[in-house]
Amino acid sequence: MNRSLAVVCLLFMATLNAHGQGRGGGRGEAPPTPRAAAPFDMTGYWVSVVNEDWRWRMFPNKGDYAGVPLNPEGRRVADSWDPAKDEAAGEQCKAYGAVGIMRIPGRFHITWQDDQTIKIETDAGRQTRVLRFGAAQGSGADLQGVSKAEWEFPRAGLGFAIAGDRGPAQSGSLKVTTTNLRPGYLRRNGVPYSANARLTEYYDFVKGANGNTYLVLTSTLEDPTYLTQPMITAAHFKKQADAAGWNPTACAVRLERP
């Protein structure tokens, strides 16, 4: 009897605790804005550091979709990619959509557009991503889709007390879910994603041992049209002191090779 009561009490406490998480203001106060609640400052200029998937990001080739869990239809589309057709159709930016842009080598300028909105501008392809906290404000499908942002914080409370060695819970991640995408390419070689694609991104802030600051991006692309399973990749960016190297260039279907 006593044991059962103890379990009930613990569950109750856990429920209370679960509701008590986050970065809320005091009782009766309005919760802080996403900008005020940000666990880290990701504004500024960042440069992509390309090590992972170097070949496919730096010098992609048609038909080179190693690692991409394409289904037969996905492979067929990738194999039949015709860059000239894209150019003729004015579709130079199909690889610069939300799914592909963060892995294209370049620089990224991140700012708060307002207290609810993070803006990411890219020099490669001159793209702008808008990540909105709160309710999605969708419009017609475009290459950048509709991105819903939210902070994720490690929970404190009972679990924290037990696992207190994990350090203070002042950090967190930015989760971005992007849908409503116009079909595009996940690499600059015609490997497709469809309008059914859903992109989930986590941005994590890392203080490097070498004194640098990094943004680590983990992305999951779900696309039942072309993929046999969710495709998970990562990329990372180094914080720059200024806009050095910022070099806006237009979208290009073909990589200019020497």
User: Per CB under 8 A, which of residues 194..223 are in contact with another protein?
Assistant: 202, 204, 206-210, 212, 214, 216, 218, 220
243: contact with another protein by CB under 8 A: no
Site for another protein (CB under 8 A): how many residues?
A: 91
Return the closest-CA partner of residue 65 out of 199, 185, 219.
185
Q: One-letter amino acid identity for 178?
A: T
Tell me how far apart the alpha carbons of residues 187 and 171 are, in angstroms, rounded to a whole number.
31
Question: For another protein, which is the closer residue by CB, 182 or 236?
Answer: 236
Question: For another protein, which is the closer residue by CB, 86 or 108?
Answer: 108
Tell me how far apart the alpha carbons of residues 1 and 37 are, in angstroms, rounded to a whole number.
43
Of the candidate residues 170, 228, 243, 254, the single one contacting another protein (CB under 8 A): 170
Stretch that binds another protein, among 70-78, 111-119, 149-157, 190-198 (CB under 8 A): 149-157
Of the candidate residues 44, 47, 75, 136, the single one contacting another protein (CB under 8 A): 47
**Beta bridge pairs of residue 220:** 200, 232
Interface with another protein in residues 114-133 (CB under 8 A): 124
Of the candidate residues 33, 35, 43, 53, the single one contacting another protein (CB under 8 A): 53
Rounded to the nearest whole angstrom, what is the least distance from the CB of residue 55 to another protein in the complex?
6
Q: Which residue matches tokens 């370049």? A: 106
Stretch that binds another protein, among 84-92, 112-120, 158-166, 191-199 (CB under 8 A): 158-166
Of the candidate residues 26, 72, 90, 140, the single one contacting another protein (CB under 8 A): 26
Q: Say if residues 61 and 190 touch (Cβ distance below 8 Å).
A: no
Q: Beta 173-179 vs 146-152: how paired, if at all?
A: antiparallel
Tell me how far apart the alpha carbons of residues 109 and 61 are, in angstroms, rounded to a whole number.
28
Count CB atoms within 10 A of the CB of residue 70. 21
Rounded to the nearest whole angstrom, what is the least distance from the CB of residue 174 to another protein in the complex?
11
89: contact with another protein by CB under 8 A: no
Phi and psi based region of residue 240 (left: phi greater than 0; alpha: psi -120 to 50; beta: remaining):
beta
Rounded to the nearest whole angstrom, what is the least distance from the CB of residue 61 to another protein in the complex?
5
